[in-house]
A and B are shown apart, each in its own frame.
Chain A
């Protein structure tokens, strides 16, 4: 059961078409999510990780956003080709989502219990009473004390941490197969963050869903994820087990990210940074999108874009350094210098 593939994304491209041109927010993403597994998607702001998550449920604002290519297969069925009505039955039922902003993601004028209950009535056909009881049960399950009382309250009466728990309760109410968590702890302070992560792991064990965990926080990745996809400029540049990623980052960008983490036992005067900025999604270079900032970049990196290659079992990387051509060129370079 555990290794069964539940969600597969193939060559997903989400572009934003406007007068300014075409912004390739997501530009050819592939990944596989298995039951009971957590896949982390990391990257800096604007790399397209949130757009990837919104694309899966087709929640990108359209126009201007559009999924221009690719497949999103939930148990083999393509969500991209589905009618809105079919997709509606999947949203909140088989695939749920937790958003980044607990303060604004709940409706301010509807009691939180009702916000959870409405999905239960819709997808599971529960009666008003049953849905309410289940909603109160879910609020208790995510660790909020006196759930009966809290269910009747409106979001402004709850703290940020509690609201995010409500979001989790809402997302998990219909026991989804896939949970997409888009930076669920970014807006919370660290102690609450730890509690929320704990609750998510706990419920994952109980329900067995696959989680797509979007974050820019490498610490959270290490804590939560089995697999990690590192995104840069709308593409996945590296895909690894999280256990090996921190020990053995392959892509120069990942190396830069991990290198920029502050180290606890070293006396650092200055934190390491990655020089330069992310290229504009309206105008990506022809070659490797990281080449401009990469300390190893060669002529070939600027000329042609590398493919995502299988480096090892469970290790993929989008970098010329790990190709046969690179080896040839570097040995010829060495010959020249000798």
Chain B
């Protein structure tokens, strides 16, 4: 187990290299010149060139990239082109907010998804099953920005139960977390249902029944534990798309998190900020994947991690 974790942590190095390279190249290909945008409208050519010189943007690409990478491995993510603040500081202000949002969203994904999936699977093809699955289908199909606006309209503007936007109190978390978690919950619900239905037909569930166990023990102890194994994988994958979703949801709800920071940075061609943001998001994803693999092993000892 220890060796496995060590090995996985070592994989972070190529991940950093890959992610930074891809983001770096994409940012170069995107139309628009950082120096021109920074200098502002109507700036003279001299000002732009001076800015370019100062920021090192006139150096060859590979040189820019290697100096950036060298700095990253020393913990220096560079400074924002916009306000000249260290990128890492900017990220550290916003990361807790995004992590909080991601945590509550994945909680909604797991709890809501599991409950819905189990309700469906206990009585397949019943009204409750069909109802839950229709809602799940909607959950998968609705784009999150649209769902976010809809929830905001109903609960904040019409009913005035919850705040419209921002990130100050616990009440602020509810709508964005539902918006971000709903799609995942729907996927988890469908996965749980099909996985449970498969497990319920297994021989060992019949054995449990032949032992005279109570129905809820059969479902929660014997069936669910086996059904969860594929669900864990789905939750892990879901976390990835959830990180992507923060970009939209943070924009809709005006939350000052990493996602919104990246969007803003892209708009101003603030390359170090974009790279720093994406890099941190990728690292979070790598850690979550590691966690998923460990969970996998906890639930199913047959899996040999090495």
Contacts and interface: CB of A to CB of B under 8 A. Distances in A.
Interface in B226-285: 226
A257 B188 CA distance: 52
Interface stretch (A26-34, A105-113, A230-238): A105-113
B221 to A, nearest CB: 7
Given A107-B208, A109-B301, A154-B301, A101 B213 contact: no
Given A99-B203, A154-B301, A156-B302, A107 B211 contact: no
A97 interface: yes
B210 interface: yes
B91 to A, nearest CB: 40
A96 B212 CA distance: 9
Contacts, number: 73
B212 A108 contact: no
Interface stretch (A14-22, A117-125, A288-296): A117-125
Given A107-B226, A110-B222, 20 more contacts: A89-B212, A90-B212, A91-B209, A91-B211, A91-B212, A92-B210, A92-B211, A96-B210, A96-B211, A99-B207, A104-B202, A104-B203, A107-B204, A107-B208, A107-B225, A109-B300, A118-B211, A119-B211, A154-B302, A156-B301
Contacts of A108: 204, 226, 300, 302
Given A99-B203, A99-B206, A109 B212 contact: no
A105 B225 CA distance: 15
Nearest to A123: B212
B155 interface: no
Given A91-B210, A91-B211, A109 B226 contact: yes
Contacts of A93: 212
Interface string A66-90: 0000000000000000000000111
Contacts of B302: 108, 154, 156
A22 to B, nearest CB: 21
A105 B203 contact: yes
A154 B301 CA distance: 8
Interface of A: 57, 59, 61, 88-93, 96-97, 99, 101, 104-110, 118-119, 122-123, 154, 156, 167, 170
A183 to B, nearest CB: 13
Nearest to B229: A109
B158 interface: no
A135 B20 CA distance: 57
Interface string B177-214: 00000000000000000000000011110111111111
Given A108-B302, A110-B222, A156-B302, A119 B212 contact: yes
Interface residues of B, number: 22
B207 A122 contact: no
Contacts of A57: 210
A105 B221 contact: no
Nearest to B205: A107
A104 B222 CA distance: 13
A88 B300 contact: no
| Top 9 A-B pairs, shortest CB-CB distance | A91-B212, A92-B211, A92-B212, A104-B203, A107-B204, A105-B203, A97-B210, A119-B211, A88-B212
A61 B197 CA distance: 13
A105 B226 contact: no
A115 to B, nearest CB: 8
Contacts of B301: 109, 154, 156
A104 B204 contact: yes
B301 to A, nearest CB: 6
13 contacts: A59-B210, A96-B210, A96-B211, A97-B210, A104-B203, A105-B206, A106-B207, A107-B207, A108-B300, A109-B299, A110-B221, A110-B225, A122-B212
A197 to B, nearest CB: 21
B223 to A, nearest CB: 9
